Each structure stands twice: as structure tokens, then as C-alpha cells.
Amino acid sequence: MTIGKGTEWGTQGVVPGGLIARTDDSLLAGDLIDGRDAMAVAGDMATTIGCSRAAVAGAPGRRLPIDLLDVEFVHRGRRRASGAVSHVMIRRPRRRGGSLRGDVHWIMNAQYFGGRDLAPRGHPNDGRMEVLTVGVGMGVRQRILAWSRARTGRHLPHPEISVRSVKEITVACRDHVVVVDGVSAGRVDEVTVLVRPDAGFLWI
């Protein structure tokens, strides 16, 4: 059951043995997608839940349910599937300007991307994703300023920046690059992301 307003998140319990303290969102996603409980001590999900130390096996802890993201890519008619725990980014290839040119999309389950507070209103167990989109008309200088301000969650108001909350999204993005939990998944022409509520558990 996803978290409700004013309700306590997670349940108390005894930390199980065998959990690996992950310092990388992509490795954390691998644990959770495989159906294993996990721990995050670094990376954007760890920053989101405020955890930097591993829970001790056999000691009291808290088990937090979190949502996961199901991701499907289409490139030249071929489909691939993946999963994510923190975020999916869609941008131009670096030789065409990367995130400094053209449209850019951040699809966020975590609050943070690369340490930047891109989704301050989101929660990793609310059954939704926050989608931050930068339109093609935003200049390089304004993008750099907005990226700097995002360190503290102070988004730069701009008509080319939009934020919305969704449960599913499809982005048409011909010959863009998709980055899943910080790891490039290659070129894509279309990306579909769907929230899977309460699909994983983190111990703190």
C-alpha cells in the first residue's frame, strides 16, 4: 500500500542477514527487481531516504516499501525492457549537445538526480513519478543556471520547464539516449515508463 498523507512509512522489524549495502542506484535496482530486499547507503535513492549507513543484520530496523519503474525502449522497431529504482533520463547524444541542447526529460522515482533536488514534491512510495521536462527553446546559459539552482531544489521558473506527476508516460524521442539509474542504455526512439507501486523493500 503506497504511503498516505500523514501516515508513517514502513514497518519496524529485525534486519535480515545477507543484504548488500549498495552504493550505486543501478546495482540497487538489480536487487529489488530480482525480488530481494535491499539496502542503499549511497546514490540518489539513499539520499532520498536519508540513509548513509548500512543497517546491522539482527538489529532493529525499518522496512520501507518503495515503488519501482518498468521501462520499455523502442529503437528502430526493436523493443527492450528494463527496470529502475531512482530515475530515467532522456536526452540528445553528447555529440549533439547532450542535456544542453534540445528536449530533456527526467522521470523521477527518487527525489534526487546526481545529487540535484529535481523532484522535491515526489516520494518513492506515492505510486507516481515526477516528470521534469526542459523544452527545446531553453538556452544553454539558462540551463546551466537552472542546473546549479537544482542543488537546493530551487527550480528556475521558465516557460520551457514543466513538472508533472504521472503513473505512466510515453516519450517520443527519436535517436535520443536513455540513461537508467545513471547507466546509459543506448539510443532510443520511444520510451515508456510505468510505476509499479510497492514493488520493492529497503531496510534502514
Whether residue 32 is found in the same domain as residue 73: no
Whether residue 54 is found in the same domain as residue 117: no
Whether residue 46 is found in the same domain as residue 135: no
Whether residue 85 is found in the same domain as residue 99: yes
Whether residue 90 is found in the same domain as residue 127: yes
Residue 95 amino acid letter: R
Whether residue 57 is found in the same domain as residue 100: no
H or E stretch covering 25: helix 25-33
Give the domain range for residue 166: 68-197
Whether residue 183 is found in the same domain as residue 100: yes
Q: Where are the beta strands (DSSP E) in the chain?
A: 11-14, 21-22, 39-40, 60-75, 78-84, 87-91, 104-108, 112-113, 116-117, 129-134, 161-166, 168-180, 183-203
For the entire predicted model, the pTM comes to: 0.89
Whether residue 115 is found in the same domain as residue 185: yes
Residues of the chain with pLDDT under 50: none
Tens of pLDDT, residue by residue over 49-62, are: 999 999 999 999 99
Whether residue 135 is found in the same domain as residue 54: no
Tens of pLDDT, residue by residue over 4-63, are: 666 789 999 999 999 999 999 999 999 999 999 999 999 999 999 999 999 999 999 999
Whether residue 114 is found in the same domain as residue 55: no
For residue 5, what pLDDT is reported? 65
CATH number for the domain that contains residue 174: 2.60.200.40
DSSP state of 38: B
